[in-house]
Structure 1
Amino acid sequence: VDRLGEWSQLPKRFLRDDVVADAAAHVLHRHAPDLLLVHFLCADSFQHLHGPRSPEAYWALEYVDHCVSRVLAALPSGALERDTAVLVVSDHGFLSSEREIRVNVRLRQLGLLKIDAEGRIVESRARFVTNHGAGYVYVLDPADRPSLVHDLQSELAGLEGVTGVWGVADYAGLGLPVPDVNPMVGELVLEAAEGYAFGDEARGDDHVGPPRYRGNHGHRPTHPDNGAFFLAAGAGVRRGAELGAIMSRDVAPTVAHLLSVKLGDVEGTLRADALA
């Protein structure tokens, strides 16, 4: 356990997953919880490092399958038929990355941010923060914010690999809050085209370069390979049901129903078609 910090690094997360599987099995034996949440990481990290559908990614998926089987083996005999349901979910799929878009390089060239000798941003009127497939531009100069937002929306739309730039007026259609509601949200949101992802790099002269990661996520869910995974089995679950595409936000209300817990007014809907 004292090495979990080291094992949280991308190449070593399979070691962390091994500890998590052991810990989950221990919790089931020792505490018999009403709800147990277990998070395995290496399928994500290996697809970042080596790309989706790479040999390493397929190995990681098999490894996570093995970790899940160890957790299931810790359940009491007959639990899945009697009183236990198991849901296996992911929060995203993966797209391959051949090129990295460096928005902060362009912002530096426009005189909107400064970096030190090691490439760290030390001063900025605007800066970009990546979520790989998408990211926010934060305009930090309140006096000149409206004009900067207007100018940057057209300027950044012209960068190679940028497939969309949206302002605050467009956020509702994207399912995003606005900065007045959530101060963590930027003034512009950008999306990368397939084959591209965003990086944080602010050094150099090139707006596009080799990727840091071979696989990424964060694009809109309209990309088929960005779809997540959902599987449910056990007590209270309808056997053999095929749901088609569902929303990730539907998972929590469905789990709450299985636990006989009322969530109140939440996003997402109960997937009654998944239940017995």
Structure 2
Amino acid sequence: MNSMTLPLLAARQPLAIVVLVVAIIAGLTIADWLFPLGLLAYALMVFFGMRDPVLIDAARRPPPAPRPRLTSPTFRAQIEAIERTHQEITRSAAQSGGPLARLLLPIAEQGRELVEEAYILADKGQIIERYLASVDRRKLEQEVAAIDRQMQSTQDPYTRSQLEETRQARLEKIQNVRDLDTYIGRISAQLQNISASLDNVLAETVRLRTADAASADSTTSQVARRLADLKSDMDAFQAVLDTALARSGAM
């Protein structure tokens, strides 16, 4: 962890900044002695902020990769719901305090990783959306029918061979489009699964705030395993999805 990162995070907290600004204004307009007093209050806020588990966790975390820009209304709405739930999980974990916060903050971090994965998944979903919108399926089927008629009317082996290859290429494209139709449904279902899983995690974090330490430790371990399993499922699905996108030429 960079030694300057945590102090800077603590110094830039909104409430601390407000205290600093008020101290400067009060020192300039009301009484000189208010400035050092306000500065002391600001320093104390920074000091205690550096002991905040949420800020410590944020300082240890590597900077996130740039998120893709979502233009699809469907996928953007799903991602916004996922993000809201994760923010509530992080807030609930931070408000727990003490040993429970140390148990729940790793859960919040796992949730953040799922949010990042969800962004990648939604971006692939909107790539498929755009590709499918550009494909004229009726035209593809008409081309296959036209090729069939040409093959019936030709006696030249070379011409027939070329037409067969063209027909096969068109059929493969039609099948790829159908596969992508299926995958876009699976992406939406996967995002719904992430959203529902995070909703359950939020409920667990709220419930654990009234639980004893032993049961909290056991429950958080179970939640962590479920989130890890979900991430593994997502990684496997994305690998399959990448193959399908490459085959279709959508990417």
TM-score by length of 1: 0.23
Which is richer in strand? 1
- The structure number with the bigger radius of gyration is 2
Question: TM-score by structure 2 length?
Answer: 0.25
- Structure (1/2) with the larger helix percentage: 2
